[in-house]
Structure formats: C-alpha cells, structure tokens
Chain A
Amino acid sequence: MPPVLEVTDLRTYFHTDEGVIRAVDDLTFRLEPGRTLGIVGESGSGKSVTSLSIMRLLSSNAKVETGRIAFLGKDLVKLPEREMQSIRGRDISMIFQEPMTSLNPVFTVGAQIMEAIILHQKVSKAEARQKAIDLMREVGIPKPEQRVDSYPHQMSGGQKQRVMIAMALSCNPQVLIADEPTTALDVTIQAQILEILRKLRDNRGMAIIFITHDLGVIAEIADDVLVMYRGEEVEYAPVLEIFSNPKHPYTKGLLACRPRLESKYRRLPTVDDFMQTVKEGTGFRVIEKKMDAARLHHLETAGRGRLLHPKTELAAIGHPWEEGYHAPDAKTVAEGTQPLLAVKNLEVHFPVRRGILARTVDHIRAVDNISFNVYPGQTLGLVGESGCGKTTTGRAILRLIEPTGGQVLYRGTNVAALSGSELRAMRGKMQIVFQDPYGSLNPRMTIEAAITEPMVIQGVGANKNERRDRAASLLKEVGLTPNYLRRYPHEFSGGQRQRVCIARALAAGPEFIICDESVSSLDVSVQAQVLNLLKELQDKRGLTYIFISHALSVVKFMADMMAVMNNGKIVEFGPSESIYKNPQEAYTRKLINATPKDDLELIRKRVAERAAVTK
C-alpha cells in the first residue's frame, strides 16, 4: 500500500544561545493508511518535535534543516503557510498531552469543535452544531446535546481529551497525531481513550502516529514501533518484533526497567545495565553491555523480601497467612510489635460554603474515616486514581493539612494533637518527598542550603561546617557528588532533583518518609533508578515508607502492604501480592485490568486480530 505519510532524513534543530541542539537527527519512517505507528522515547528524545515538525507548529527557534515530509506525495516542508493551514485539522490533526490546558477556557467545547468543522467544510452553523454533537457522541461523551454548551472547566480530564479527539476527527483526517494523549489521565480513563482510538481507526481507516513514553501503551495500540533516543532512531520494527526480540540495547533497557505487575525482581534493571553512551565528536555512540549472571542474581536477591503485618492482624483484615501461598522470602512482623504509625478513623473534610453568611452547608469528604497500621521497616502502598484522597491522606498524617477527625499515632503519640514546638520536633522524624521535583525545590536556594535547612531547624550538626559535611555525605548516599552542593536546582535534571529532594528528606535523620507520587513525573529509566535508591535507603537506614502512587505496578513493586483508595475510603487493604493475585473488590479489579499489559501472548493475539481486520 502507498504510504499516506513518509518522512525521509528529517533533521530538526533548535538554535539556542548555547548552540545548536539536534532535536531530531536523520529520522526516516513511513505510515500506511489504517496503521498505527508508535513513537516511543524518553523526555528529550525528539518524539514530540517530530510531530510538531510534521504539523509545522515548531517554535520560532526551531527549524527543519533538511529532509522531506511527504503527505500523499506533497512535501509539507516546502508548502506555503496558507496551504499548510488548510491541511492542518482537515488532513492531519493532532491531539496533545494536556487536555486541561489544550482547550480555550473562554469558549464552549461545542464552539471549539464547530470552529474546526466550519473552517474546513462548507456547512451552516446549525449543521456544524449537529455534527459536533454527533462527534461527541461518537467519542463517548454522555448527553452530548447538553454537553455541547459546556465550558472546558465543567468537564473532567478524560472528557476534555474526548473533546480534543472529537475536534481532531471533525474533518475525517487521514492522519491523526496523538502526542502522549493519555499520559495525564487515570489508567481507567486511559483504557477507555485507547479503546476509542482503536475503534475510530478501524471504522475510518485513519492512520495514527501515537507518541508515548510508556511501552505498555505502545503494546496496546501500535502496529509498528519507532524507538527514539537523543533525536535518533535506534530501532524501528513491528510491535511483536520489538517486544519479543528487541535488538538495540536501549530498547532492551527500556523494556526491562519498568516495574511490571508480574515482575519477580527486588531491584529494577536500568538502561545503564544494557548500554553505555560515549561522546563522539558532536554526536554520541552506544556501547552495548551484557547483563551478567551476577548482576541478575543481585537484582533478584538484593535486600529483603516482603514484610507483611503480624499474622493475627493479617487474619483480622481477611488475608490470613497461609504457608506456601506467599512468596518464599516473605516474612511477617513479629507478634506484639507496636506499629510505628497507626492511623485511626482519619477524616479530612473540606466545608462547602453557601449564602450571604457563607454558612457551611455540606462537606467534601476528601478522606473519609480511614484506619491502617504501618510497622517499622515496612512500606505501605496507597494506590488510587486522581481525587481518591491518597495525597490528602499523606499530608494529613504529617499535618500539612489539618485532619478534621481521627487520630494519627506515631509511636503512640497523637500527631493530630501536638502543639507547635512538639510538632516541629516530630517533623524531624517524619518527612515527605513530593511529586514535582521542579516545584518542590526553591530555585533561589543552593542545594547545600536546601539540604542543611532542615538540619538547622532540627538542631542537627554543631556548626555550618559539620552540616555541610553531612550534606555532602547525604549527596553521596543518594548517588550524587558533593561538588553539587554549591549549585542551584535549575542546573539539574528531574531525576537528579528528585535525588536532592530525597537527600533533603533524609537530612534530619527521619525514621518515616512519605513518598507522594515521587517517581510519577520521571522517565521510566530514571524512575527505576530512584525506586532502587529508595529501597536501598530503606535497607540501610531501616526506614519506614508510605508510598503513594496512581500506578498500581509501581506500588506493587515497592509496597509490602497495599491500600486501594477510592472516594476518600480504603476499599481494599492487604499484602500487595495477594491483592494483585486475587483482588476482592470490583474497583481493584478495574484498576488492574486497566493497566496496560505487554505480555507477548496478548500482543500476538492483537496482531493476529489486526491482520484479520486489515485483510
């Protein structure tokens, strides 16, 4: 079949004050009608720049240097802007990562869909409106006749992304470019969006370029996969080939470093286990490394096995200990051990105020009567979708948000009742690492100032020099070098910053750390490194964690015990492996089923089905 889109030797460079950045370097691929090309890579790999080059929506400092982007034989690179405008939205459309900010807040969603229709088709306003309603129905928005007049802020993230899809489909394009369309969404919504895209592709014979950093999603949707690394193609093959027989070490590394639901590893492999990048002239060269048996053994045996609640308590929560059922290295906390943290009937209610006197008429129950224990040295996982109350729970435990009811007992002391100075002393024992390493470090403070500040507050270290020495050894402990002390946060990558945040949390010598989505904004290979680091620190320092995340696979990898939250309540609580193997609640099952799967059997089945359809 002739390709609908053919990219040949594409080079897109950014011209910055620091010099030329080769965002896309010598990229070639082709896209046939009805097929889905998955482009996968980490941040900075050039995958988004590729899509913006095709759409000619690059920022002014970026330029397509050489190469051809042929759409049905027409070279888009050389097309006048006017003609390009009529191709955008009509022949090639695009959906973006952030549904929250990608719709204009001051117009109704209907108006925004209608605009795309009226721009490219000769229809009346009433017809366009009807078409918009039909499209909204097609992408699964309930009551489209009413929702057509909604503003973006009145819709959820998943609905907004559906609106974006409706808009992109409005003129029946031949190519749809989806740039991380599900990354900002919850897994259950992601599963629905992927389903919609698959259906639309098959019904309309549309070709899709699907850009993502998540290989699980690629396995669910792509026919062919292009793996990008630092602006270059490292592997380009059919999806089954990529997953069953990856050739390039980078692909192997990417596939291995994700915590998969059925993984047996205690430590995650990283991309560095498979390859090494060396500078060569203006570019780089990849040297393949072999994963030896010793390393594999280390990954499988380093650290400890699962540490479950005492047997009596396991029985009480409906997960009695059975010999042979748990992993052979799993242990339980000794009977009679006092929990390090006991949360009892914790409530955080936010008042809803109405009327002239702003009387409280109702409450939003962000955290609604939850109880659990965490024993010393354990990791408790809190998992759930956005808005389920997991972050509020974490913050209420540390009193970053005041609980409205219940108790938080830390070694028997009720944190919720502590006064100012007692609370400050307690904070030396309890720390938190946040999600966004960019927002949670003060840009005006050096790394040294950030790490030594908690020491000053908690009275750790006799003087400045001693504290600096401690900060230096903390940096070494989290895998950075002490000469970073005098630098500022903007000089570091996301992963390095998150390591700094971990060092800061360790500064006052805590026993207990809450990791609130601490790896969610990191690239998978960096995520693996940080997860390994957290586990190593736990072994070395005997730390106790509450690990909060929306990603069930990550929580399952990290946590001994897992609590699944929904609507402010804990819907299921038990050993993480038991919950994964044998979920009791419908909600837990829904979460597990929605997590993208990449086992070869499923991919093989999907490929066979696709082959049948396209014939």
Chain B
Amino acid sequence: MSSYIIRRILLGLLTLLLITFFVYGLLRLMPGDPLLVRLEMMDPGKHMLPEDITRMREMYGLNDPWYISYFKWLGKLLHGDLGESFTQHAAVAHVIRERIGATLLLTLSSLIISYLLAIPLGLYATARNGRWDERTISVLLYMLYSLPSFVAALALQVLFAVQLHGTAFELPLFGMTGDHFNQMSFGGKFLDLFKHAVLPVACFTYGTLAYYSRFILANMQEVIRQDYIRTARAKGVGYWRILFHHAFRNTMIPLVTLIGLELPALLSGSIILEQIFGWPGMGKLFFESIRMRDYPTLMGLILMFSVLTLVGQLLADICYAFVDPRVSYE
C-alpha cells in the first residue's frame, strides 16, 4: 500500500506541474492584462504616464514571456510564497484564507445534509420499489435534479425575502452576516449566520441530494439482483437485514468514490450561487480574479483546486480498498 501511495503522489506532483504550466499559459494568452483592465475602470479624466505604465508592468513582471513568468512563479512557490494579489495588494495566501471559511460553511453543511438525507431516501425507495410512494419520491427527485439552481435561488429569494417580509419566516436576501454582526452575542451571531445561510445551503443541497439518492437507488436495484442476495434469502435472512446489511454494504463501494470526487467542489464553491446571494466565498473570488486578470490569485486558486482534485482521487482509491476487500494495492 505505501509504495502505491508514494507512486501516486509522485505522479500527482508531475500532473500538478503540467496543469499549472498550461493554465498559466492560457491565462496569460487571454486578451487584456491587469493594467489595461484597471485603466478601463479608472476615471477617464485621469491620465497615466507611459513611463508609469512601463514601470508598473515591470513591477508585475508582465514584460517577460509567459513561460519565464511561470518559472518565476514556480520558484517562489517552492519557497512557500504564492505571490501577491494584483488587486487586493495583499498576499494571495491571505486573500484565500479570508474567503475559505465562508465557502466551507456552505459546502460542508450542504454535503452533510445531502448524505444524511440521501442514504435513507435511497434505501426507502429501494424497499418500496414500484409502489406509489417510491414512484412519487423518484419523480420529485428527478424534478429537483433537473431544476437549475439559479432559478430556485431567485424563486426562494422572492418567497422568503420579499413575500414573507415582516413575518417570522423572513430570511435575508443576501450576504453572510447582517449589520451590527460584531456587536451581537454568541447566540445572536449564530442565529444571524444561520438565517443567512439557509437559502444558499438549500440551493446548494437539493441537486446533490437528488443525485445521490438516485445514485443509491440505482445501485441498490443493481445489487439486489445479484446471486449473493439470493443466497442470503435462501439462508432465511429477513428482508430488512438483506437490504441494510447485505445490499447496502455493496452499494457503499461506488458511493465512496463519489465522496472522493466531491472534495475539490468543497472549496471551489459556486460562482453563480455566491454571486446571487452575495456570499463572500471562493466562487466569487475566482470570478472577480478572472475579470481583473489577477494572475497570482488565479494561480493560487487553481493550484489549490488541482491539489484537492488529486488528493480527492487518491483518498477515494484508498477508501476503496477499505470498503471493498477485493481491492488491494500490493
């Protein structure tokens, strides 16, 4: 196992090098550069001297060809330095650290809720297969799965922030915290955060929930047709035990892979939802950085997502060996 993990990590490092190299090239070849983008936004009455522009280009390292800049970036990275954000005038690591909490609050709660609901829903639907309640659940899940999250987000905003305005069910329209958050007591802070998070978390969750339950249902239906389920029945094992003990344990094998692939999504957040709800998370940061051609921040984010993707896959493969005794990496 350990030699397998070491091999995978070495391969992963090589993959990272290639990803960052190509992404850096693509970013730099995008039309526009940070200075021009900012000039466009500046007061047109104010003039910038050509010398200033040259000086700033030099300062940002934009005069070098992109591959030279890449290796400079890589050199700094090896010293643990992600560079400085062009727009926020702070270290990239610092910028990311500021946003990470907001996104985790959203994604982690959504992940936990969807698993907690999807497993019982999937099992229940398997047990009731073909009956009216399973059909209803399945159709509902299918509808949820096909509903775009931005539509749901806008509809929920209209309902809870506008229609229910002034009632006990009112929820804030956007943002992560209300005014005067800093003066609130601990309980107050929690309640405020909770109220702000309800709608984004709900929008974040329902699609995954639908996907997971359908995934579990489909896998369970596959598993209960297997020969070893018939063997268990022939032993005299009861229906529920067959479902929970014999069948679900086998369904967990593909489920574990799914969790591993979920890891990068935990930190990437959602560009659209964070934008709609004004949620100060990673998705929003990513979007803003692209608009501003903030290369160091973008590279920091991409590096993080790539690392997480690779780690997630490795974790999934390792977990695989734990839930499936047939898999070993010797």
Contacts and interface: CB of A to CB of B under 8 A. Distances in A.
Q: Are A and B part of the same complex?
A: yes
Interface of A: 55, 57, 85-90, 93-94, 96, 98, 101-107, 115-116, 119-120, 151, 153, 164, 167-168, 354-358
A151 B236 CA distance: 21
What's the interface size class on B, roughly? 20 to 34
B257 to A, nearest CB: 15
B324 interface: yes
B237 A105 contact: no
B7 interface: yes
B26 interface: no
A88 B235 contact: yes
Contact of B228 (A88, A105, A116): A105
Contact of B236 (A102, A120, A357): A120
A105 B250 contact: yes
Contact of A87 (B231, B236, B324): B236
B226 A101 contact: yes
Contacts of B3: 354-356
A115 B228 CA distance: 13
A105 B234 contact: no
Given A85-B238, A104-B250, A96 B7 contact: no
A358 to B, nearest CB: 7
B324 A101 contact: no
Contacts of A87: 236
A120 to B, nearest CB: 6
B55 interface: no
Interface string B1-23: 00100110010000000000000
B246 interface: yes
B292 interface: no
Contacts of B6: 356
Given A94-B234, A115-B235, A105 B326 contact: yes
B313 to A, nearest CB: 18
A356 B325 CA distance: 22
A94 B10 CA distance: 51
B326 A90 contact: no
A218 B249 CA distance: 39
Contacts of B325: 105-106, 151, 153
A85 B235 CA distance: 8
3 tightest CB-CB pairs across the interface, nearest first? A89-B236, A88-B236, A89-B235
A324 B266 CA distance: 84
B291 interface: no
Interface string B65-93: 00000000000000000000000000000
A57 B233 CA distance: 8
Contact of A98 (B227, B232, B236, B324): B227
A151 B231 contact: no
Interface in B219-244: 226-228, 230-238
B231 A90 contact: no
23 contacts: A88-B236, A93-B235, A96-B231, A101-B228, A103-B228, A103-B231, A104-B246, A105-B325, A105-B326, A106-B253, A106-B323, A106-B325, A115-B232, A115-B235, A116-B236, A120-B236, A153-B325, A153-B326, A167-B231, A354-B330, A355-B3, A356-B3, A357-B7
Contacts of A105: 228, 250, 324-326
A356 B7 contact: yes
B130 to A, nearest CB: 8
Contacts of B326: 105, 151, 153
Nearest to B231: A102
Contacts of A90: 236
A88 B231 CA distance: 10
B234 A55 contact: yes
Given A101-B228, A116-B236, A357-B7, 6 more contacts: A55-B234, A85-B238, A89-B237, A101-B227, A104-B246, A107-B249
A104 B7 CA distance: 32
Contact of B230 (A57, A115, A119, A354): A57
B138 to A, nearest CB: 18
